[in-house]
Structure 1
Amino acid sequence: MKIRLITLFFLASIFSMKVYGQESGAPQSAAQANNPLANMTALNFHNYYIPRLTDAPKDAYLNNAWVRFAKPISEGKWLLRVSAPLNTTGIPDPVDGTVNSINGLGDVNAFMSYNFVSKPTATVGIGPNLTAPTASESALGTGKWQGGFAMVAFIAKSAVFQFGGLVTWQTSFAGDSDRSGTNVAAVQPFYFWQLGKGTYLRGAPIWAFDFKNDALSVPLGLGIGKVVKVENTMFNLFIEPQYSLLHAGTQPQFQLFTGINLQFMGK
């Protein structure tokens, strides 16, 4: 999947040299292409390829793919986002070193954001956050129902530079009594610098904090993306290497974040 996303990225870069410049409102469309609270139905395909983990055997790896669907409600005052993970874990056998892979569905997450600020230049929302224990294998999920909140903001006052962040917190309240409880938070700053013709520099690392197990991960990301508008659909392709600056416990040391975002703008 990682190779396919990179290939699609470069094909879109060549194709969009002609397509993007022909569309009206291109700079504003590029600025809104990374807005998680945009008043548009969106479908995202994201992938985190993690070839190196801290405090783990040398050959251990992870691959986390996400399918995310976002739907604005009540003319954009509310936004529902549902995320389904498809995870792979590779764990070396302690005896012969053979890497055993486990693949399957992880825990599905959803949050509903009330956008109390909803302007073209600034969007801010907050709402409940819920994760269901849907994992197909115990190693791919927590076995717990988790609830909390999510708060997100996106500032696009400049057509060149946009920034914002997503903050979530959740803790377990029901589920498998044999599994340990959860108390986790995540902070995702994001920043985008428009280079023109739909190309932009980007960063959207997720800083994860596991209060229950005294684990954390604080990566820094810097990548490149391309926005292509074709009729009423905005295609946003990107690739972003991320490296952990601070970590405790078994966490990603290096990961490659790739994705394709689709926004359906309507007529």
Structure 2
Amino acid sequence: MNSSSRSVGLRLLFGMLFLAGLAQAPVHAQDAAQANNPLANMTAFNLQNYYIGDLTDTDDDANQFWLRFAKPFSVNQSKWLLRASLPVNTYPVPPSGGHTTGIGDLNLFAAYLIDTGNPAVSFGVGPQITAPTASKDEVGSEKWSAGLVNVLFDASSAKFQYGYLLSWQQSFAGTNSREDVNVAAFQPFAFYQLGGGTYLRAAPIWVYNIENDNYSVPLGIGIGQVEKKGKTVYNYFVEPQFSAWDKGSGQPEWQIFFGLNMQFMN
């Protein structure tokens, strides 16, 4: 394992746990059930990290730290949710060896929230766009990409919540010398409440690269804790994930997904 990537991941983990430790108040069942809803009707800010311990066909590791911000808004009485995601990537640099770290590509999606008739069930669909904002060539695609996103979250049960995030995007402009982007991703998620804000979780991301027929299908299970302080809901978690099926170089063999999600109630 590369000590630089491991150090980045550990520092982020300890920092998130410190921030989460500030939350002490008990959480209501409704808050716990909605804490993992990507379409929740409230402003949210997430600090999430993937420490990738082993990549296929190499002995290297990597790290992805994500900053995510979500904000609901209305247009002519229709309800939308805007989410912005910006990674800080640490990737190996073959064949010279070593790693490089830099800001990656910015992704934005706007989901139109469809009235399901059940306030516990959220369903959204809308466009997404990825801008080539990477600070270094090695940590970004150097391509403009656009596509669609579809999200479902069902919190009808206070005990068990589930849903998915389905996305697809294809490049339409950018550096000609770089490989085109044509990627589909499916993230199923499930959360089982143990009580007191503690829950079990599984939220792997399955990725299929349509451009080169490579794919990554991880599975995992983790644990999280939801707590509330004032009008802020804190949700911190850790989820080890292991590859069940993969094809192509540079796919994660195993990784640790951890983070701190914050929802700011009105």
Structures share fold, TM-score greater than 0.5: yes
Gaps of 5+ in 2: 1-7
Which residue pairs with 1:78 in the alignment?
Answer: 80
Q: Aligned to 2:138, what secondary structure does the other structure show? A: helix
Q: CA deviation at 1:54?
A: 1.1
CA contact (8 A) 1:39 1:76 kept: no
The verdict on how the C-alpha distance between 1:103 and 1:19 changes in structure 2, with shifts beyond 3 A counting, is same
1:92-131 pair list within 5 angstroms:
93=95, 99-117=97-115, 119-131=118-130
- Alignment match, 1:220: 219
> What is the TM-score of this pair, normalised by structure 2?
0.90
Q: Say if 1:14 and 1:71 are closer, same or farther in 2 by CA, change over 3 A.
A: closer
Query: Which residue of the partner structure matches residue 66 of structure 2?
Result: 66
Displacement of 1:205 after TM fit? 0.3
Distance 1:76 1:230 in 2: 31
- The alignment partner of 1:181 has SS state of coil
Aligned-pair distance for 1:91?
3.9
Aligned 8 A contact 2:20 2:234 in 1 = no
Q: Name the counterpart of 2:202.
A: 203
Q: Deviations over 1:102-138 (max 9, x none)?
A: 1101111000000113643100000001000111111
Counterparts of 1:235 and 1:31 in 2: how far apart (Å)? 13
Unaligned runs of 5+ in 1: none
Give the Cα separation in 2 of the matches to 1:125 and 1:198: 26
Larger CA deviation: 107-116 vs 132-141: 132-141
Q: Confirm or deny: 8 A CA contact 2:198 2:224 kept in the other structure.
A: yes
The aligned counterpart of 2:43 is 41
Q: Quick one: which amino acid aligns to residue 181 of structure 1?
A: D
Q: Is this contact kept in 1: 2:20–2:235, CA < 8 A?
A: no
The 1:15/1:112 distance shift into structure 2, 3 A limit, reads closer
How far apart, in 1, do the equivalents of 2:35 and 2:203 lie? Answer: 14
Across the aligned residues of Structure 1 and Structure 2, the Cα RMSD in angstroms comes to 2.0
My pick for the range that moved more, 68-77 or 150-159, is 68-77
Query: SS of the counterpart of 1:192?
Result: strand
Which residue identity lines up with residue 72 of structure 1 in the other structure?
Answer: P
* SS of match in other structure, 2:114: strand
* TM-superposition CA deviations, 1:193-232 (whole Å, max 9, x none): 0000000000110000001111100001100000010010
Number of residue-to-residue matches in the alignment = 255
* C-alpha displacement of 1:5: 5.4
Secondary structure of residue in 2 paired with 1:150: strand
Equivalent runs, 1:1-267 vs 2, <5 Å: 1-4=8-11, 6-7=13-14, 19-20=25-26, 26-55=28-57, 57-58=58-59, 60-74=60-74, 77-91=79-93, 93=95, 99-117=97-115, 119-250=118-249, 251-266=251-266
* Cα shift at 1:90: 2.5
Report deviation, 1:15: 7.2
Displacement of 1:7: 4.3
Residue 71 of structure 1: CA displacement?
0.2
Three-state SS of the structure 2 residue aligned to 1:30 is: helix
% same residue: 50
Equivalent-residue separation in structure 1 for 2:119 and 2:11 (angstroms) = 33
What secondary structure, in the 3-state scheme, does the structure 1 residue paired with 2:178 have? coil
